[in-house]
């Protein structure tokens, strides 16, 4: 089923071009589905800055994972055989696991959780899950899919390599989509960390990211997310 377009946002978010590199582009607005989609389509994403206010970010440089650059080590390849990849069978459990307050540097609060659950209900937010042989959820990730864009938000694991296996599964899904065949698929990881760099992420200038984004969001969704 195609995603449902929500009512448009009453907020006009600023163009991130020329905005600060490591601070929010702006603060405020809401987390309604229309606002979130408008943000992603313009190169922004939300993160809370206080208990009441949300910041809208567009890092420069921006972290992405080129689909052909994913680094799958021998041990990770072996781990891939231990888990089953499923799509959207446990979205709320995935986001709740990513939001576990025991995790360091947690930022997913109740507002964020509820907002992305609404996006999921409308068909825009998706989870990629790694299930073990005992039928238990071992790890996963979630993010937002708009055309050929997948904006990764967070990932978690309960067993070694489970979140990495979910990432491998996500890349395989994106590779099957029309955007990949057209060369415009875009896997956004926001900021590239040392951990993500070990998996193949790179950083690109914001202006290049925005140019690639404009092409990606016009492409059809991969069938797994449609």
CATH numeric code, 62-225: 3.40.630.70
User: Cα dihedral sign for 37, 90, 224, 150?
Assistant: positive
Contacts 24+ apart (CB under 8 A), 91-96: 91/117, 91/120, 91/125, 91/126, 91/127, 91/142, 92/117, 92/120, 93/137, 94/127, 94/129, 94/137, 94/140, 94/141, 94/142, 94/156, 95/127, 95/142, 95/154
In sequence order, which residues have a C-beta less than 8 Å from that of residue 74 and are 6 or more positions away? none
Q: What is the pLDDT along the chain (226 residues), one digit of tens a residue?
A: 789 999 999 999 999 999 999 999 999 999 999 999 999 999 999 999 988 899 999 999 999 999 999 999 999 999 999 999 999 999 999 999 999 887 766 789 999 999 999 999 999 999 999 999 999 999 999 999 999 999 999 999 999 999 999 999 999 999 999 999 999 999 999 999 999 999 999 999 999 999 999 999 999 999 999 9
What are the two backbone dihedrals, phi and then psi, of residue 104, each rounded to the nearest 5 degrees? -70, 150
Residue 187 to residue 68: CA distance in whole angstroms: 11
What are the two backbone dihedrals, phi and then psi, of residue 86, each rounded to the nearest 5 degrees? -130, 155
To the question of pTM greater than 0.95 for the whole model, the response is: yes
How big is the chain, counted in residues? 226
Q: Are 175 and 223 in contact (CB under 8 A)?
A: no
Q: Are 141 and 152 in contact (CB under 8 A)?
A: yes
Residue 97 to residue 209: CA distance in whole angstroms: 29
Q: Tokens standing for 37?
A: 């989609």
Residue 137 to residue 106: CA distance in whole angstroms: 20
């Amino acid at each position: 089923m195609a995603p449902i377009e929500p009512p448009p946002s009453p907020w006009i978010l600023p163009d991130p071009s020329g905005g600060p590199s490591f601070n929010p582009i702006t603060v405020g607005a809401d987390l309604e589905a229309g606002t979130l989609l408008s943000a992603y389509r313009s190169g922004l994403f939300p993160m809370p800055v206080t208990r009441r206010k949300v910041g809208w970010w567009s890092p420069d440089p921006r972290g992405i994972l080129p689909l052909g650059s994913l680094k799958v080590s021998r041990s990770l390849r072996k781990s891939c055989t231990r888990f089953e990849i499923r799509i959207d069978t446990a979205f709320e459990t995935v986001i709740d696991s990513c939001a576990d307050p025991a995790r360091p540097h947690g930022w997913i609060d109740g507002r964020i959780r509820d907002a992305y659950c609404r996006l999921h209900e409308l068909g825009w937010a998706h989870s990629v899950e790694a299930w073990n042989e005992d039928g238990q959820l071992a790890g996963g990730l979630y993010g937002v899919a708009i055309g050929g864009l997948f904006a990764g938000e967070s990932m978690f694991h309960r067993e070694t390599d489970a979140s990495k296996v979910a990432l491998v599964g996500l890349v395989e899904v994106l590779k099957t989509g029309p955007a990949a065949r057209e060369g415009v698929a875009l896997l956004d990881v926001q900021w590239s960390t040392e951990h993500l760099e070990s998996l193949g992420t790179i950083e690109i200038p914001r202006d290049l990211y925005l140019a690639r984004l404009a092409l990606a969001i016009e492409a059809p969704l991969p069938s797994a997310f449609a």
